[in-house]
């Protein structure tokens, strides 16, 4: 699937019940209740936002890239995609998207991938895996590295080659573009706003993102 399913939202940011800017390199957690709308805004363009979702009451049930790809029959995420759990239930549904395509194959950067992809001396540069683990430690719910699964990379461009490999290319997003999701159950959001300085997806310049939540329509 390569088509872009663009759709704008009608929600007013002034009416959001939560509004926060997250700097690059920082982790983030928040519970989003069933029916609430969660938006991620790419403030400066082509920032990779590594994201995982969990059932807020049972974190053993979590976002599954395999179940999501199988359910929609496509490898990219966009408007209409249901983000499926490893139990085969929809956790969230993408209801608006002005970027049009998001990666769910490339995974999160780590000390190991920094070393393999870039250079031996890059191993100890900050990574999304680090941000995930720090955010989980601060959350204080007993979650740790065993709870990390294959994540979504919102706004990241990871084309699949004809041979089945992955290539990390220039981004397809732009300043102010966003993706918006409706929670189909109570979910825990875990984000690493990527700190990666070695990847062309963000033009080698990690930038902040804005996160908003709206209550369900009355």
Kindly state the DSSP code that residue 58 receives in the 8-state scheme.
E
Judge whether 38 and 180 are in contact, CB under 8 Å: yes
Locate the domains of the chain by residue range.
17-214
Please state, in angstroms and rounded to a whole number, the distance separating the CA atoms of residues 70 and 19.
33
Local confidence band at 214 (pLDDT 50, 70, 90 cut-offs): very high
Local confidence band at 82 (pLDDT 50, 70, 90 cut-offs): very high
Judge whether 46 and 201 are in contact, CB under 8 Å: yes
pLDDT, tens only, 108-138: 775 565 555 554 555 555 678 899 999 999 9
- What predicted TM-score, i.e. pTM, was given to this entire model? 0.90
In whole numbers, what is the pLDDT of the chain averaged over residues?
88
Q: How many CB atoms lie within 10 A of CB 162?
A: 5
Instruction: Give the distance from CA 208 to its chain's centroid.
Output: 14
| 116/46: higher pLDDT | 46
For residue 80, pLDDT over 70 is answered with yes
Q: Would you mind telling me the total number of residues written for the chain in this entry?
A: 218
What is the distance between the terminal CA atoms of the chain, rounded to a whole angstrom? Answer: 35
Nearest C-alpha neighbor of 75 from the set 163, 171, 157, 183: 157
Rounded-to-10 torsion of CA 25, 104, 7, 89: -110
For residue 151, pLDDT over 70 is answered with yes
Judge whether 77 and 104 are in contact, CB under 8 Å: yes
Judge whether 128 and 109 are in contact, CB under 8 Å: yes
What is the pLDDT, as a whole number, of residue 2?
A: 46
Tokens of 69: 């790809």
């Amino acid at each position: 699937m390569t088509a872009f399913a663009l759709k704008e939202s009608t929600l007013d940011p002034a009416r959001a019940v939560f509004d926060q800017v997250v700097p690059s390199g920082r982790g983030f957690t928040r519970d989003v209740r069933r029916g609430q709308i969660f938006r991620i805004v790419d403030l400066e363009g082509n920032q990779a936002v590594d994201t995982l979702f969990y059932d807020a009451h049972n974190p053993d049930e979590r976002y599954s890239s395999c179940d999501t790809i199988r359910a929609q029959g496509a490898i990219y995420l966009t408007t209409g995609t249901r983000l499926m759990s490893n139990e085969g239930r929809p956790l969230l549904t993408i209801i608006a998207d002005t970027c049009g395509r998001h990666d769910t194959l490339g995974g999160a950067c780590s000390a190991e991938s920094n070393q393999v992809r870039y250079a031996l001396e890059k191993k100890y540069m900050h990574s999304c895996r680090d941000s995930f683990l720090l955010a989980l430690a601060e959350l204080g719910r007993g979650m740790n590295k065993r709870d990390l699964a294959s994540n979504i990379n919102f706004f990241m461009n990871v084309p699949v080659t004809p041979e089945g490999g992955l290539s990390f290319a220039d981004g397809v997003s732009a300043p102010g573009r966003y993706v918006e999701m409706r929670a189909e159950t109570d979910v825990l959001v875990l984000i690493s706003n990527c700190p990666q300085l070695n990847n062309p997806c963000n033009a080698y310049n990690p930038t902040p993102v804005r996160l908003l939540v709206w209550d369900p329509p009355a």
